[in-house]
């Protein structure tokens, strides 16, 4: 990664040297228009343009070399019922019909004419506080708008960076908790450096009357919100907005830029992409660039721009590394990278052994029977269930969840699972060998990866027995012998 970068930097430098006379020529021609403005407030605007707004995870076209303009932003506020996760509905309040709200892309010096429209069916007045605005309330006082009304105000963007906007009407916490936030990007003169892919991700925490996963239309829970006890912590407004078919994508060799924001209302984000290192982070969305970052902190009401080149194919999981949020509350996304393997960068597993501090070197795994004898065997179904549950909680729980419900769009359910109940041997095989690619469980297609599980025959027998005898499954009992026969079948 590093080497590549250096190479490309050198190339760029050489190109620059070669082109210098040409550039000089151009700058002569352009001289009248191209001034260096000490004060960005002095940048003149030419022409009018209606801003392109996009719903996440997409972002509008980069500003490139365009001049500062009068930019018209038409933003509609909608209060509407949407899906939080499978079977759980929630009344979201949105800027532009999505959580987070529409992405606004400007360049320094733009004069933004903002039209905030509050749909007549909406129940509440709203406003907008854009952190990119220099002025009282960030526009909040000028944009306070009753249902069925439109408010208009203008501002000039003076400071480049990535900024959060949000509703600031009392009770402000509730407006934000219901999804009223988004990002506005102010690009510097000439635009941000070009990259291959750009995406928009914003984290938010949600508070519902029912517990996490409780079905039905869930109202906002004020008490939990005040206690900062979130039921959902998600990217882009719902569980699974960036997984499965919704995953963001890139090709090997491409540079990806993520515009990451955090609407809160309460929880800061430890933003991390598993298996990637951010080559470059614009810390807090500002000018300060940090390089080679594993996890970057995104404050509530703050943002960051992260960039990295993807060098190997695979699925890279995007998480809030406050990890219970990722596995239990939904803060999980996926970046799917396609392309050629590069074994130099990542080999895949090359060798597997046991580690014994007393003995030297790597040894072969002892025969399975040996392991079997090493632990006490479960005799009764009750014992099998007990042991099986222990294994489940250690090995399976993180993905398939405590009640076997799985995680929407990422990990299939084990409860009442048609796929599981249809074929015991297949289930054993999957634990033994892992499983990659599409499976259809209870009518839903999942496409992710389960690695092979390093468990003994008895452990596998117990855990499967536990699974089959829980959550309305078919109550099969799996024996170590069954596992052994599948193991030897391969």
Question: What does the DSSP 8-state code read for residue 322?
Answer: S
Q: Which is nearer to another protein, 169 or 328 (CB)?
A: 169
Residues sharing a CB contact under 8 Å with residue 399, sequence separation 6 or more, in sequence order: 327, 406, 407, 410, 411, 450
Q: Which is nearer to another protein, 141 or 394 (CB)?
A: 141
Residue whose tokens read 């004898």? 373
Residue whose tokens read 């050198």? 10
Q: Which is nearer to another protein, 222 or 274 (CB)?
A: 222
Q: Which is nearer to another protein, 28 or 81 (CB)?
A: 81
Q: Which is nearer to another protein, 165 or 466 (CB)?
A: 165
Q: Cα separation of 224 and 410, whole Å? A: 27
- Give min distance, CB of 76 to another protein, in A: 15
Q: Which is nearer to another protein, 153 or 387 (CB)?
A: 153
- Give min distance, CB of 179 to another protein, in A: 12
Q: Which is nearer to another protein, 163 or 278 (CB)?
A: 163
Judged by the rule CB under 8 A, the positions of this chain that interact with another protein are 79-81, 91, 120-125, 127, 129, 136-137, 140-142, 144-149, 168-172, 174, 178, 209, 219-223, 226
- Give min distance, CB of 109 to another protein, in A: 25
Q: Cα separation of 93 and 347, whole Å? A: 46
Q: Which is nearer to another protein, 81 or 349 (CB)?
A: 81
DSSP string, 48-86: EEEPPEE-TT--PPP-TTPPP-EEEEEEEEEEEEEEEET
- Give min distance, CB of 122 to another protein, in A: 8
List residues bridging with 282 in a β-sheet: 289, 305
- Give min distance, CB of 131 to another protein, in A: 12
- Give min distance, CB of 138 to another protein, in A: 9
- Give min distance, CB of 164 to another protein, in A: 13
Determine how many CB atoms are found less than 10 A away from the CB of residue 235: 28
Report the SS3 class of residue 6: helix
Element (H, E) at 222: helix 222-227
β 295-298/269-273 pair status: antiparallel
Q: Cα separation of 375 and 384, whole Å? A: 13
Q: Which is nearer to another protein, 205 or 429 (CB)?
A: 205
- Give min distance, CB of 72 to another protein, in A: 22
Q: In terms of Cα–Cα distance, which of 288, 265, 277 is closest to 311? A: 277
Q: Are 300 and 260 in contact (CB under 8 A)?
A: no
β 289-293/278-282 pair status: antiparallel
Residue whose tokens read 């614009």? 282
- Give min distance, CB of 136 to another protein, in A: 7
Task: Please measure the distance between the N-terminal and C-terminal CA atoms of the chain and give it in whole angstroms.
Answer: 38
């Amino acid at each position: 990664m590093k080497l590549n970068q250096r190479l490309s930097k050198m190339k760029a430098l050489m190109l620059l040297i070669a082109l210098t006379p040409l550039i000089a020529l151009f700058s002569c021609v352009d001289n009248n228009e191209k001034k260096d403005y000490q004060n960005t407030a002095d940048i003149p605007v030419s022409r009018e343009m209606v801003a392109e707004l996009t719903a996440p995870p997409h972002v509008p076209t980069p500003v490139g070399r365009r001049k500062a303009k009068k930019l018209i932003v038409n933003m509609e506020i909608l209060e509407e019922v949407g899906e939080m996760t499978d079977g759980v509905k929630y009344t979201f309040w949105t800027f532009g019909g999505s959580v987070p709200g529409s992405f606004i892309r400007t360049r320094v010096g733009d004069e933004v004419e903002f039209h905030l429209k509050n749909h007549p069916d909406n129940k509440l007045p709203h406003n907008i506080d854009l952190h990119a605005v220099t002025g009282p309330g960030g526009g909040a006082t000028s944009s306070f708008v009753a249902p069925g009304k439109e408010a208009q105000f203008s501002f000039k963007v003076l400071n480049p960076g990535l900024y959060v906007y949000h509703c600031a009407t009392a009770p402000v916490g509730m407006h934000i908790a219901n999804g009223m936030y988004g990002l506005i990007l102010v690009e510097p003169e000439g635009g941000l450096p070009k990259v291959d892919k750009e995406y928009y991700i914003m984290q938010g925490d949600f508070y519902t009357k029912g517990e996490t996963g409780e079905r039905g239309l869930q109202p906002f829970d004020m008490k939990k919100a005040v206690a900062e006890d979130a039921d959902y912590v998600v990217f882009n407004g719902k569980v699974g907005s960036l997984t499965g078919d919704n995953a963001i994508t890139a090709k090997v060799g491409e540079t990806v830029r993520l515009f990451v924001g955090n609407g809160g209302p309460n929880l800061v984000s430890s933003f991390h992409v598993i298996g990637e290192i951010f080559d470059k982070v614009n810390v807090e969305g500002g000018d300060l660039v940090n390089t080679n970052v594993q996890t970057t902190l995104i404050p509530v009401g703050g943002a960051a721009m992260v960039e990295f080149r993807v060098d190997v194919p695979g699925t890279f999981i995007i998480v809030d590394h406050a990890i219970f949020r990722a596995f239990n509350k939904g803060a999980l996304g996926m970046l799917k990278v396609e392309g050629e393997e590069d074994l130099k960068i990542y080999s895949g597993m090359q060798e597997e052994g046991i580690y014994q501090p007393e003995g030297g070197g790597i040894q072969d795994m002892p025969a399975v029977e040996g392991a079997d004898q090493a632990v006490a065997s479960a005799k009764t179904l009750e014992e099998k269930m007990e042991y099986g549950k222990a294994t489940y909680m250690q090995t399976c729980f993180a993905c398939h969840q405590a009640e076997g419900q799985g995680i929407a769009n990422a990990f299939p359910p084990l409860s009442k699972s048609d796929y599981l109940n249809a074929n015991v041997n297949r289930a054993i095989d999957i634990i033994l060998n892992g499983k990659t690619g599409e499976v259809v469980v209870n009518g839903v297609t999942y496409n992710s990866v389960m690695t092979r599980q390093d468990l003994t025959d008895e452990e596998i027998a117990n855990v499967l027995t536990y699974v089959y005898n829980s959550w309305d499954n078919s109550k099969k009992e799996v024996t170590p012998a069954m596992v052994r026969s599948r193991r030897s079948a391969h």
